[in-house]
Chains A and B, each alone.
Chain A
Amino acid sequence: MYNTAIRGPLIKGDKTIHQITEEICQPIDRRPGYWWYFVFLLCLGALIYGGWAVYITVHEGIGTWGLNNSVTWGWCIINFVWWIGIGHAGTAFSIFLLVLEQKWRTSINRAAELMTVVAVICAVHFPILHIGRLWDGFFILPYPNTRGPLWLNFNSPLFWDVLAICTYFMASSLFWYVGMIPDLATIRDRTTSKIKRAIYGFLCFGWIGSSRDWFRYEKLSWIIGGLTAALVVSVHSIVAMDFATSVLPGWHTTIFPPYFVVGAILSGFAMVLTLMIIIRKVYKLNDYITDSHLNAICKILVFISLIMGTAYSTELFMAWYSNNEYEMFTFFHNRVTGEYNTAFWIMLISNAILPQLFWFKKIRKKLAIVFIISLCINIGMWFERYVIVITSLTKDYFPSNWADYRPTTVEVGLFTGTFGFFVLCILLFFKYLPMISLYEVKGVSKYKSN
């Protein structure tokens, strides 16, 4: 058993390799419980609501949203940044912990990577639907044309965004899928149904588990992993550039790129925590996702949340130190004490203060509290984006332009729709794919070390 002096065994229960396979593949073999169907239908409902919202947006125009001449970016950009932030966790998990040789990641990284892929898909919906002339959206791609040729504005962070997100999506989905190949082969070998065998056989590219397979496989994992590592940092810094390159008070700060990346990791880890607690509970995987796993994530959250706290105070400090009246107004009047102070304080408390409770071991042990705090962080991170996008736009330089913003049912529908999609994908994943990396868990299990 992979055992360290400090941490103890990573997987509990003295499991044999066969036992591991059986336990992890159990949900794939079994019919899911009623709760699964219930949640599935719920998500389907959310998805239909989202579909209606998409239809209305495309058919009638962005006017169906609550935006106006001053607040030209609203919920959709908030949700986009939020989802992209969540989309950080999986890859960050795998890559960073891989680099840091943290073996405990093995039972979590699969689900986390899936989360990444789905969250990025969710996120991408928003900027696409956000375009006023969807049908001309391809203008944003650099392709040879007969217009001179007319290229793009390579200065625009929005263009970098397109590239960064596309690349990130490709890389992270590749990373996730490649990681799954040996496990797919395991499922193929276990199944009795011919159809399933054919499908999983195709999906695992005829994996036979030879040493050559393993050799190539590991090399590929390392290459993709290495490439993706850089992207994890780049993608959210570029999203941050969307704001940082502008002239609006509250947006125009150099701290944004690192601050956004850290924020993304915070929200991503919090989401992982939320999901893992649920999975552990529902699928009774206490032995694989052990208390020490959750404990470790909590400890990381403490650290990240400290960084976030520092970032928030830096922003406020810079606003005060610059003595720029617009900055001062935005931060101290509009955010801290003004109309949007609720959002600001929710953000501050749930992102910077609540996670500090994880200093206490007692709290880390109480799963219910951990779960609640992780949810709070998710909500808090949403409000962070809300504070950034909305407060800066509603009240900028000229009071004559100041306008309020309230989302419409269509915008809410889009968000709900992506939520439905997210949970739906995760449900399907539970049902059809191994939710914990089989071969990696086996690698750290008892028999491996023997």
Chain B
Amino acid sequence: MIDNLTAKDLLVFKIQLFIILFLVLTTFGFNVQTVFAQNTAADHFDEFCADCHSIGEGDMKGPDLLGVEQKYSEDWLVKFIHSSKTLINSGDPKAVATFEKYKKQNMPDTDLSVSEIRALIAYIKSFNKNTAKKPSITNDSLDVSNIKEIKSVIQATVEEALEARQYNERLGSIEKKLDVLLQYNRKSLSARITDEEIEKGRKLFEGIIPFTGNVPACVTCHNTFKIDTLNWNPSAFDIATAFSQRNDADITSLIINPVSNKMKAVLNGHRLADYEAFYITAYLQSIERTGLIEYKKLPVKLLVFIGLCLVMMFSLIDLMFTKIIKLKLVNIFIFIVTGILISNTIYINAANIGLSQNYAPDQPIKFSHEIHVKENKIECLFCHNGPEFSRESGIPSTNVCMICHNKIRTGERTGQFEINKIVKTFENKIPIEWIKVHNLPDHVFFSHAQHVSVGKIECRTCHGDIDEMHITRQVSTLSMGWCVNCHRESKVQFEENKFYSEHQELHDDLKSGKIRMVTADKIGANDCQTCHY
């Protein structure tokens, strides 16, 4: 995009870049050290605002209020909080913009007094008081004296733009360019962070260097590499991506002054130093780009296999040529045993090709069946409503999650972090991309309805103790042999279901005691096109 710009455009760009840099940096430097002991304000916030707003935890129904006092004037905020409708109806551009942005949901009017509202704003403000700053980057790139000049140039450009015939198009393109500029700005900011600082951040995060304030290392809760055990806390990558849309002041400040109860408890009143928070932020930014580290596991099985092959070979060589071991039987014995082991390994591994028993992938959201099914006693069919009548069990749509999570916003183990993900996807209208655990090949047609509703087979017969799984895992092999053997053994609801009354011979056999029960394969469950068509 940059390539297509004319020289003049580029000049305007640069100027705009400066302005934005200036704005951003001054915001950083805006350290208002006002401390309020505002218990009432906090109560008010919980009572009136917390349903729709968070401070520093992302947008909910309404906007995240962190830093709201910098965006709007206090008077405006008072008016808005008092009665947003009036303000919107009066046509205030800012109010209308906010209204439009948040899907035209009206904020309910409050009957708080002006002073109470002010206290509320101050409370919100108090979250934003300690923004991280890196002293070295404050003003060095910006020549403040030039501002007047820049302003005048911009003025001229804008006027020119206004005069232009394609007024709208022009404005649109300027907006786009601004977007690009903003990105450059962000990039240039992150570019300032040196590898050294990231490395320091990593060491701090992983606890190689201890924090000054007797704070436990981040890595105790937030892992930096992929693990296959469960960690309820968000990983470093999770955190990084969750905050990636905000400017880094927020992360830094949140690290220093956490809002979540869990973090508060962990920190236990201690605080991180500003520079430590900065390093951590830097590290998080880098991990957002690189992703979590994945440690390669030692291929133990392969090594054992190679070892066995070697032993077998040596025993053979010795048997034929070197003859170190005098007793031939020993060599023969070794040869036979290793031979059996090797062929067994090959057989087992070959048989498992294409099967994925115990597959338990990382899901985008740490959804635990144990919490939902065992602890909260939710029926399987409440969420998976397909199996009763459809071939597919169906992965619940997000609105099903929202039935409960509209209200329940905090989890016992994960806090708000994971639940917020659902809420966010719901609000942003982006479906969740779950990783499919039970993958049947394309050429297999399996009907849940047939098994669940007709065959009266428990979910757990195939899916195992899913109510004890924090991470959903494939319990069965889902191989054809597994299906077929189950068909050979399981009893059909033969006398109960009127559908089968047509199978006269089998009914006769049952009555005469010739057969004890009717298994599925007797009525064609093992025919080819029962599953493959």
Contacts and interface: CB of A to CB of B under 8 A. Distances in A.
Nearest to A150: B480
Give the residue among A144, A146, A147 with the most B Cβ atoms within 10 A: A146
A231 B415 CA distance: 76
A443 to B, nearest CB: 34
Interface string B474-509: 000101111011000000000000000000000000
Contact of A145 (B477, B481, B485): B481
A147 B484 contact: yes
A146 B347 contact: no
A152 to B, nearest CB: 14
B303 interface: no
A136 to B, nearest CB: 12
A144 B479 CA distance: 13
A149 interface: yes
A148 B480 CA distance: 6
Contacts of B479: 146-147
Nearest to B477: A146
Interface residues of A, number: 7
A146 B347 CA distance: 11
Contacts of A148: 480-481, 484-485, 526
Tell me if A's interface is mostly helix, strand, loop or mixed.
loop
A256 B485 CA distance: 41
Contacts of A149: 481
A147 B481 CA distance: 4
A415 B481 CA distance: 41
B351 interface: yes
Contacts of B481: 145-150
A149 B481 CA distance: 6
A415 B59 CA distance: 72
B511 to A, nearest CB: 31
Nearest to B355: A146
Contacts of A147: 479-481, 484
A412 B84 CA distance: 85
Contacts of B480: 146-148, 150
Interface in B333-353: 347, 351-352
Interface in A138-156: 144-150
B485 A146 contact: no
A73 B139 CA distance: 84
A194 B110 CA distance: 105
Interface in B260-300: none
Contacts of A145: 351, 481
Contacts of B477: 146
B101 to A, nearest CB: 55
A149 to B, nearest CB: 6
Contacts of B355: 146
Contacts of A150: 480-481
A206 to B, nearest CB: 13
B490 to A, nearest CB: 15
Interface in A105-162: 144-150
Interface of B: 347, 351-352, 355, 477, 479-482, 484-485, 526
Given A144-B351, A147-B484, A150-B481, 6 more contacts: A144-B347, A145-B351, A146-B480, A146-B481, A147-B479, A149-B481
5 contacts: A146-B477, A146-B480, A146-B482, A147-B480, A150-B480
Q: Which 10 A-B pairs have the closest CB atoms?
A: A148-B484, A147-B480, A146-B479, A146-B481, A148-B481, A146-B351, A147-B481, A148-B480, A149-B481, A146-B480
